[in-house]
Structure 1
Amino acid sequence: MTPAAVNDADIHNKLRKELAQSRVLLVDRHPEARNFLRMTLSAVGITSVRNAGTAHEALRQARNARFDVILADYLLDHGRDGQQLFEELRQQQLIPLASVFMIVTGERAYRRVVSVAELAPDDYLIKPFTADQLQSRLLRAMYKKKHFAEIYGHLEDDAFVDALAALESLLARSSEFALDGLRLKGEILNALGRYDEASEVYREVLAARVAPWARMGLALALRGRGELAEALVEAQALTEDFPEYLAAYDLTADLHERTGDLTAAQETLLAASGRSPDNATRQRQVGHLAVRNKDLAVAEKAFGKALDRLRGSSLRQLDDYTNLARVRIDKGDIAGARSVAADLRREFRGGKGSEAAESADVAELAALVVDSLAAGRTGDAEAAKNALNAALARHDSLANRRSTAVSQHLAVDLAHACLAQGEEARAQALLRRAAAEHHDDEGMIDRIRGVFARAGKEHLGEAMLTQVSDEIVDLNNKGVLAARSGDLDAAISMLSQAAERVANVQFLVNAAKAIFTKMNRDGWDEALAERAQGYVRRAQAKDAASPRVVSARELCQRVAKKYGVQLESAAKWKKGTDSEAE
């Protein structure tokens, strides 16, 4: 036996022992199928196994425990599939990169999705299979995970630059899993906003083979470089060539929206929703686009689907109720809007603990806003005014607590009710804050314009939006210029004030970067570090995938490492939180 063979045998034996100790989650809507998988796993020595009958349950369990292996059937509940579940788990950072995710599928389903199988799962296992076949595929997947273990470790610590350096070294000395390495390299470069380098990686892959994931990565890099027309061509072609690749529809819709074609964006998302009708996040996007397109029938249907999909679930969102109620009011369906308000009060009432009580308070605020808008639409001025006064009192009470967040979408609805009842100063204050926090979100800016338009105050709205935009640019520029001139104390002061006044991603990230740049120069300061991490956490909650946020996380970890300080990674922040999951 050669030394290499002995080494391979040692690795294989070690992996078999690790596999036997793995914590496994089985996701299948059929109890008998889960029982079969459990027995099959038992036959290869795996006994730590949990079950999930739905994608919701899988997401919940992943929040509360770490799994080494997830086996998911391709066909899940409500028309969803295992590949979509994997994408959600990854996007929400609910499973480590080192975990193995394998989809179990029948041959017919496998043929339908195999062309894009490289997108997400570690493997597909075709039914029927034996215990030996399952073990063999799991061992192979675990071996590949071990190959990239160092890179995964850096990524989960938010050390993206270190991960890239380790990956470059690995690719230089080993050709094993080279294609997977290039995919990982492209993803890291895109995450860091190094789009030119990412484009080169994806073009290298595409010159050698057809790889849908590489075309998707290239389209994302082109979008990052501002080459929207070229990105759109690539994304549209992906949806045509690989109609099961739903992420390509989302990217295509985003590019249509960025280029101003809201009708095409809506149609693209509707096409994706036709293939996956129970994705609540996508239904919300359809609804918001339809409102902007004044297509209230489609908006009502989409918001209704999003609400029904998550009704009674811990993943429900209060905005789903107000979205639907607002559209029904615009359609003149006052009874339907009031029915939503009644559902809202009922759904959020009766929970235990302070968090449930606060959620009930916000729900009552939202219901009162709906009551005011609905009464105003019917001409009942007294009822509208009374409901608004109650809503404002509750809003002020929630604001004083500081621990309870009111979404900016609800704040805009409250401002709408204020303008309708002549409370112009209160409306302006609410809308100014919403515009400042979402100044680069055209959807939110359109909503704010719509509120002013309904009150016949379009010119007032445009003047306010222009003023807010100018103030944001001025605030940011002053802080950034101070940082560039080396006056980091002044930069921190200005940018921190800006972040506290207007908690948008740009201000939060710039304030955090100024603080960590100062500590990199002057030494570690625990109080400053805590403040900066708070800013990064808030930015992360708003847009986790933004290269701005990624670079801030990277800088935080790099400076902490310099002084031997261990900071929590973004993956740990995410774990156990209520996210915009499905």
Structure 2
Amino acid sequence: MPEYSDLSVLIVDPNPGMRASLHNMLNLSSISKIEYAVSSGTAIRQLGKKSFDIVLCEYDLGSGSNDNGQDGQQLLEDLRLHKLIGQWTIFIMLTSEGVYSKVISAAELTPTDYILKPFTVDVLIQRITRAVDRRAVFMPVFHLVGLGNLRKAIANCGELELQHPRYAIDFARLRAEMHVTLEELAEAALIYQTILMQKPLGWAHLGLARCQYGLGRYEEALQSLDALIEHNPKFMAAYDLLAKTHVALGQAVQAKKILEDAVAISPHMVARLRHLGEVAFETGDVGVAEKAFKQVVAKAKYSEFRDPEDHVNLVKTLVKKGDANQAGGVIRDLERSLRGNANTDACRAIASALLQEMTGNLPAAAAELATAVTAVGTSRGLSTGLKVGLVHSCLKNKLDSQASELMINLMNDTDSGITTDDAVDVFEKAGRHDLAQGVGDTVARQVQELLSDAADRRSQGDLRAAVDVLNIALRKTPGNVPLLAAAASAILKQLDDLGWEAPLGERCGQLIERVRSLAPTHPALATLHAQYTATQRKYGISTTA
């Protein structure tokens, strides 16, 4: 029997008898570094403090009661989403659950393995042995990924693949996923296509479709996903991406139908239910939206990562339905059950403003919106969509200064994805050309200040800082041609003086092409292209120019 005395294990199970049984089984394999968690909450707190080699998790964490807490699938969803377990963590689901939909929900989140109860010690040790052996092969890559050195990790995958040919497809999958992380979607797509030529694997079809979606090739993505679902109607992640693709094509009704079908097959994924609620609300199907958001709030009730925005979504739906009593109850539940969350004050104020507006109390609605704008400033992680919705509400209630302030803050937030064009569009559609012009003028001043700052840093020889400043400016105005040219020039200077960096070189080429597409007669274009080609040749980078 293998020696596993160095392995640490977290057993997540509310049943003391099962915890004791698992402990004894593990001891038989020399595993003694064992800790316990009796619920999803205690598991999350323990994993937040330290890492474990193996997590053995009971599926039914509610001791048989669906209303008594998270199940193992929801726990795994939280752990993956909030990065509390790494790729190297072995997560094994233990279940005696006979309901097929629940098994599907767990499987789609790809635990390392799952074992049906009852099982023997030999079965448990066999599964652990298999998982540990596989992890040892991939650990050098996982280590490099943990350090953030994805390029070296990709190269390392190629080397290890030669040493361990039986894992060739797994290494190829890892390489593709890292290319996706690096936003090199064409490279990732080629790897997935190569895999599919060898074997028609569902995850490879899905990976290819994700690349097609990311590249804006929506029709190709639809074809890939339709074919995948036809051959594997239980491949749940394909439904999610298919719905997302239909939304990107402006086909919300089709997206809603796909999500309803997916929820009927696998009803326990909170993210899918949330997406269904959002799409149903957009299409005006208040009944489906209400049901979906109620399930989201109920299923997330025992999560350590409850999101008060879910309550806002439910209130918004109930307000649209005209149900003031239920909306008020949801707000009271939000105040009571999410006290202490950094985002609760903002979400409560937004929800209350919606209810006050519905009941005709406009002064109270305006007061709540002003409170919400202030609370957003101290919040953490609120979605861009919620904040843009707050801007719309402020405009509707004539809170012009608050709307402008919030929109400018959104544009200054590099993670929001809101550009000047987006902001101007919001104000113009609201019939507020004056506010649109004011925001545009403010951003123009900020961009000019950033250009001056970048020029100063470049003159002082701090080339990397100059490029960083220009990238911040570009996130505000990605279609600003002089700014695009200035950023390309700064990157070329850095590459020429400090050495070639492949991602930066690719970025420079993209900027030059962007200038070409927006202003084909721009006077700096020929010079930038010549400098780019010369820099490539200087470092032996192949070029057809």
**TM norm structure 1:** 0.68
Query: Residue 374 in 1 paired to residue 355 in 2?
Result: yes
Q: Distance in 1 between matches of 2:387 and 2:97?
A: 50
Question: Residues 462, 109 of structure 1: CA spacing in aligned structure 2 closer, same or farther, 3 A cutoff?
Answer: farther
Query: Residue 272 in 1 paired to residue 250 in 2?
Result: no
Query: Residue 426 in 1 paired to residue 402 in 2?
Result: yes
Query: Residue 64 in 1 paired to residue 64 in 2?
Result: no
Contact 1:105 1:127 in 2 (8 A): yes
Contact 2:94 2:117 in 1 (8 A): yes
The CA deviation string for residues 316-352 of structure 1, in whole angstroms up to 9 with x for no partner, is: 1121122212222222222222222222222344xxx
Question: Residues 367, 120 of structure 1: CA spacing in aligned structure 2 closer, same or farther, 3 A cutoff?
Answer: closer
Q: 2:201 corresponds to which residue?
A: 211
Q: 1:252 corresponds to which residue?
A: 242
Q: 1:48 corresponds to which residue?
A: 33
Q: Distance in 2 between matches of 1:303 and 1:44?
A: 45
How do 1:498-509 and structure 2 match up within 5 A?
none
Q: Distance in 2 between matches of 1:415 and 1:72?
A: 43
Measured after TM superposition, the shift of residue 252 of structure 1 is 1.3
Q: Distance in 1 between matches of 2:215 and 2:458?
A: 24
Q: Distance in 1 between matches of 2:243 and 2:77?
A: 18
Amino acid at match of 1:374: L
How many percent identity over aligned positions? Answer: 29
Of 411-420 and 254-263, deviating more is 411-420
Contact 2:366 2:399 in 1 (8 A): no
Measured after TM superposition, the shift of residue 466 of structure 1 is 13
Measured after TM superposition, the shift of residue 292 of structure 1 is 1.7
Q: Distance in 2 between matches of 1:164 and 1:23?
A: 28
Query: Equivalent residue of 2:55, what SS?
Result: strand
Contact 1:74 1:109 in 2 (8 A): no
Q: 2:20 corresponds to which residue?
A: 35
Q: 1:560 corresponds to which residue?
A: none
Q: 2:366 corresponds to which residue?
A: 388
Measured after TM superposition, the shift of residue 219 of structure 1 is 1.6
Q: Distance in 1 between matches of 2:346 and 2:212?
A: 43
Query: Residue 233 in 1 paired to residue 223 in 2?
Result: yes
Q: 2:127 corresponds to which residue?
A: 137
Q: 1:97 corresponds to which residue?
A: 87
Query: Equivalent residue of 1:46, what SS?
Result: coil
Amino acid at match of 1:227: R
Q: Distance in 2 between matches of 1:44 and 1:275?
A: 38
Q: 2:314 corresponds to which residue?
A: 324
The CA deviation string for residues 164-213 of structure 1, in whole angstroms up to 9 with x for no partner, is: 11111122344242232222222222222333332332233222323222
Query: Equivalent residue of 2:57, what SS?
Result: strand
Contact 1:171 1:178 in 2 (8 A): yes
How do 1:302-341 and structure 2 match up within 5 A?
302-311=292-301, 313-341=303-331
Q: Distance in 2 between matches of 1:269 and 1:418?
A: 32
Q: Distance in 2 between matches of 1:285 and 1:117?
A: 20
Q: Distance in 2 between matches of 1:434 and 1:405?
A: 12
Of 412-421 and 478-487, deviating more is 478-487
Question: Residues 84, 389 of structure 1: CA spacing in aligned structure 2 closer, same or farther, 3 A cutoff?
Answer: closer
Query: Equivalent residue of 1:148, what SS?
Result: helix
Query: Equivalent residue of 2:85, what SS?
Result: coil
Question: Residues 237, 342 of structure 1: CA spacing in aligned structure 2 closer, same or farther, 3 A cutoff?
Answer: same
Question: Residues 34, 275 of structure 1: CA spacing in aligned structure 2 closer, same or farther, 3 A cutoff?
Answer: farther
Measured after TM superposition, the shift of residue 44 of structure 1 is 2.0
Measured after TM superposition, the shift of residue 490 of structure 1 is 4.3
Question: Residues 254, 39 of structure 1: CA spacing in aligned structure 2 closer, same or farther, 3 A cutoff?
Answer: same
Amino acid at match of 1:376: E
Amino acid at match of 1:165: A
Q: Distance in 2 between matches of 1:163 and 1:109?
A: 40
Contact 2:12 2:43 in 1 (8 A): yes
Q: Distance in 1 between matches of 2:381 and 2:122?
A: 52
Contact 1:257 1:265 in 2 (8 A): yes
Q: Distance in 1 between matches of 2:345 and 2:294?
A: 20
Measured after TM superposition, the shift of residue 64 of structure 1 is 2.9
The CA deviation string for residues 417-459 of structure 1, in whole angstroms up to 9 with x for no partner, is: 43343223322443454477587589xx79x96xx79xxx644
Residue-pair matches, total: 475
Measured after TM superposition, the shift of residue 56 of structure 1 is 5.2
Q: Distance in 2 between matches of 1:48 and 1:406?
A: 39
Query: Equivalent residue of 2:205, what SS?
Result: helix
Amino acid at match of 2:246: H
Measured after TM superposition, the shift of residue 231 of structure 1 is 1.6
Q: 1:528 corresponds to which residue?
A: none
Amino acid at match of 2:210: L
Q: 1:24 corresponds to which residue?
A: 9
Q: Distance in 2 between matches of 1:157 and 1:335?
A: 52
Q: Distance in 2 between matches of 1:113 and 1:346?
A: 33
Q: 2:515 corresponds to which residue?
A: none
Q: 1:527 corresponds to which residue?
A: none
Counterpart of 1:298 (choices 277, 288, 292) is 288
Measured after TM superposition, the shift of residue 84 of structure 1 is 6.8
Question: Residues 326, 397 of structure 1: CA spacing in aligned structure 2 closer, same or farther, 3 A cutoff?
Answer: closer
Measured after TM superposition, the shift of residue 313 of structure 1 is 4.3
Question: Residues 484, 239 of structure 1: CA spacing in aligned structure 2 closer, same or farther, 3 A cutoff?
Answer: farther
Q: Give ranges in structure 1 of 5+ residues lacking alignment.
A: 1-11, 350-355, 524-582
Amino acid at match of 1:430: L
Measured after TM superposition, the shift of residue 404 of structure 1 is 6.0
Amino acid at match of 1:67: F
Amino acid at match of 2:399: E
Q: Distance in 1 between matches of 2:465 and 2:201?
A: 49
Contact 1:376 1:420 in 2 (8 A): no
Q: Distance in 1 between matches of 2:143 and 2:167?
A: 18
Of 259-268 and 101-110, deviating more is 101-110
Question: Residues 373, 254 of structure 1: CA spacing in aligned structure 2 closer, same or farther, 3 A cutoff?
Answer: closer
Measured after TM superposition, the shift of residue 398 of structure 1 is 6.7
Question: Residues 398, 303 of structure 1: CA spacing in aligned structure 2 closer, same or farther, 3 A cutoff?
Answer: closer
Q: Distance in 2 between matches of 1:182 and 1:87?
A: 25
Question: Residues 22, 281 of structure 1: CA spacing in aligned structure 2 closer, same or farther, 3 A cutoff?
Answer: same
**TM norm structure 2:** 0.72
Query: Equivalent residue of 1:20, what SS?
Result: coil
Contact 1:27 1:52 in 2 (8 A): yes
How do 1:4-19 and structure 2 match up within 5 A?
16-17=2-3, 19=4
Measured after TM superposition, the shift of residue 414 of structure 1 is 4.0
Query: Equivalent residue of 2:165, what SS?
Result: coil
Contact 2:395 2:430 in 1 (8 A): no
Higher relative contact order (CA 8 A, sep 6+): 1
Query: Equivalent residue of 1:273, what SS?
Result: helix
Q: Distance in 2 between matches of 1:303 and 1:153?
A: 39
Measured after TM superposition, the shift of residue 391 of structure 1 is 4.8
Measured after TM superposition, the shift of residue 218 of structure 1 is 1.8
Measured after TM superposition, the shift of residue 122 of structure 1 is 3.2
Of 233-242 and 158-167, deviating more is 233-242
Q: Distance in 1 between matches of 2:41 and 2:16?
A: 16
Q: Distance in 2 between matches of 1:107 and 1:294?
A: 36
